[in-house]
């Protein structure tokens, strides 16, 4: 290239660059004023963080047994001016009041002693407070749950030694259904029986009492050895439907129904009392018939004896033989007997019936007095009732032909007064020969 051309380029190139630079600088200064640039820069700056908050809040902690928890909460301000605290915290859970460090060691002794529970959500209230400004604070809640990979089963334990009971009919069975809690406590209890029962209390949870009044008809007559065994199965279930069963064997022996037997005795005593009143009135009627017959026979005997004796003597004297008077005197009794029996015969049936009625009344009274129950629970009440029934049946069979009279115009006191009259007793007293 010629030297002249190079010299011209050296002159015009710097000039062109100066013109171009000046033109662009003028464009930028004219389109964006300095005040607008300052507003754009302020708009892009972040706002000041003035509200107190916890930056790393964790609402749920799950801790394994025999492990250690260490978690530090942080806030968006200077922690040296704030105070940390806990409310309703479980045993062993702590927080550093100065820096918010949450710590806990889940020792197994806490759970074995019952101070802590497995799988139970503990709600813990936590707060951070400004020491200078009471209004500057944050209150929140988090949950702590403890778990264990070693499962300890829970058991149902009724308060019955050995699980066996021996009772009698009429007794009341009562015992408590307790539980030995493991990792997961028993929440629900149901029970089953091998024999349907009634009138019992339902056991639903640990600590409930089972009460059952045994009826007197529980043991049947055809049961072996007059006893029956009732099996109670208590089934406990936890929240994971793990089951544990405890069985109680109740052997019920046949027993006497004392209230029923005592009522039966009173009914039998009342029936015998009414029956003896009928017998006493019948005895009175028969005894009065015997008395009227006796007076009639005595009056007739005197009159007939005088007449018969006079006629016999007169007939003998008419023949003029006085020596025969003594020989005919023995014939007076022979002559009177047929006449007396024809006019007023002896009432032997009434006499025998009255004697039998009186002796049987005495027998029933003796049977009642000898077989009277002793107290409300006489162990021999069944045999005593049986003996009284046998005596009553024998009396009724012996007097089956005697028509019973019903006293319509006499009360019990009047009948007893007549029956126990000394004259009547003397009349029917057994004489010694």
Confidence of residue 408 (pLDDT cuts 50, 70, 90): low
With a cut of 70, say whether residue 275 has pLDDT above it: yes
117, 74: one domain: yes
48, part of any domain: no
CA distance 380 to 385: 9
Measured between alpha carbons, how far is 265 from 371 in angstroms, rounded to an integer? 10
pLDDT band at 42 (very low <50, low <70, confident <90, very high): very low
Radius of gyration of the chain from its Cα atoms, rounded to whole angstroms: 61
Question: What confidence score (pLDDT) does residue 268 get?
Answer: 92
Mean pLDDT along residues 82-110:
90
Domain that includes residue 361, residue range = 259-317+327-427
Alpha-carbon gap, residue 174 to 261, rounded angstroms: 26
| pLDDT higher than 50, residue 327 | no
User: In this prediction, what percent of the chain has a pLDDT beyond 70?
Assistant: 74
pLDDT at site 345? 57
pLDDT tens profile 360-386: 999 999 999 999 888 888 888 889 999
Per-residue pLDDT reduced to its tens digit, 244-259: 999 999 999 988 888 8
Average pLDDT for 290-305: 54
Domain boundary among 229, 255, 281: 255
What's the structural domain count of the chain? 3
The CATH number linked to 178 is 2.60.40.10
User: Could you tell me the CA-to-CA distances from 142 to 66, 161, 231, 325, 425 in Å, in that order?
Assistant: 21, 46, 49, 147, 104
Q: What strand order describes the sheet that includes 227-237?
A: 164-168, 243-253, 227-237, 188-193
Q: Does 299 share its domain with 391?
A: yes
CB 256 within 8 A of CB 382: yes
Q: Could you tell me if 160 and 251 lie in one domain?
A: yes
379: in domain: yes
Answer yes or no: do 247 and 270 share one domain. Answer: no
Q: Is residue 27 part of a domain?
A: no
The answer, yes or no, to whether residue 208 has pLDDT greater than 70, is yes
Predicted local confidence at residue 338, as pLDDT: 46
Please check whether residue 353 lies inside any domain of the structure: yes
Q: Could you say which of 147, 179, 194 is where a domain stops?
A: 147
pLDDT in tens, 299-321: 444 454 454 444 454 455 555 55
Residues 375, 343 share a domain: yes
Among residues 223, 255, 287, the one where a domain terminates is 255
**Claim to verify: residue 363 and residue 251 sit in the same structural domain:** no
Q: Which of 204-218, 279-293, 318-332, 395-409 has the lowest mean pLDDT?
A: 318-332
Average per-residue pLDDT for the chain: 79
Sign of CA dihedral 410, 412, 414, 416: positive
58-61 long-range CB contacts below 8 Å, 24 or more apart? 58/142, 59/141, 59/142, 59/143, 60/142, 60/143, 60/145, 61/142, 61/143, 61/144, 61/145
């Amino acid at each position: 290239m010629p030297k002249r051309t190079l010299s011209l380029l050296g002159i015009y190139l710097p000039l062109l660059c100066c013109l171009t630079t000046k033109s662009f600088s003028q464009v930028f200064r004219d389109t964006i004023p300095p005040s607008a640039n300052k507003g754009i820069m302020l708009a892009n700056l972040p706002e000041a963080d003035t509200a107190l908050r916890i930056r790393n809040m964790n609402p749920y902690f799950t801790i394994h047994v025999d492990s250690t928890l260490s978690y530090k909460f942080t806030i968006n301000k200077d922690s040296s001016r704030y105070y940390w605290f806990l409310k309703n915290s479980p045993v062993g859970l702590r927080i550093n009041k100065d820096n918010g460090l949450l710590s806990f060691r889940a020792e197994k002794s806490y759970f074995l002693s019952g101070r802590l529970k497995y799988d139970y959500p503990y709600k813990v209230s936590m707060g951070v407070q400004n020491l200078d400004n009471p209004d500057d604070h944050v209150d929140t809640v988090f949950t702590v749950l403890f778990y264990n990979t070693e499962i300890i089963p829970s058991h149902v334990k009724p308060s019955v030694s050995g699980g066996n009971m021996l009772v009698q009919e009429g007794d009341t069975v009562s015992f408590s259904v307790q539980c030995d809690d493991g990792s997961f406590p028993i929440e629900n209890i149901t029970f089953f029986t091998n024999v349907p029962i009634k009138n019992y209390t339902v056991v639903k949870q640990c600590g409930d009492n089972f009460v059952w009044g045994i009826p007197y008809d529980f043991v049947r007559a055809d049961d072996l050895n007059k006893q029956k065994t009732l099996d109670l199965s208590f089934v406990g279930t936890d929240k994971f439907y793990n089951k544990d069963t405890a069985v109680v064997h109740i052997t019920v022996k046949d027993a006497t129904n004392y209230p029923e037997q005592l009522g039966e005795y009173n009914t039998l005593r009342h029936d015998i009392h009414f029956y003896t009143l009928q017998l006493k009135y019948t005895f009175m009627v028969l005894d009065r018939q015997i008395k009227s017959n006796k007076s009639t026979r005595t009056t007739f005997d005197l009159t007939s004896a005088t007449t018969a004796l006079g006629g016999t003597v007169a007939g003998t004297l008419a023949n003029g033989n006085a020596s025969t008077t003594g020989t005919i005197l023995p014939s007076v009794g022979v002559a009177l007997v047929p006449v007396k029996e024809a006019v007023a015969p002896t009432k032997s049936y009434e006499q025998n019936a009255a004697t039998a009625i009186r002796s049987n009344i005495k027998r029933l009274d003796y049977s009642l007095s000898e077989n009277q129950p002793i107290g409300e629970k006489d162990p021999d009440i069944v045999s005593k009732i049986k003996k009284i029934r046998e005596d009553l049946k024998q009396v009724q069979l012996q007097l089956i032909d005697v028509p019973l009279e019903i006293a319509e115009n006499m009360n019990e006191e009047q009948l007893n007064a007549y029956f126990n009259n000394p004259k009547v007793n003397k009349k029917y007293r057994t004489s010694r020969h």
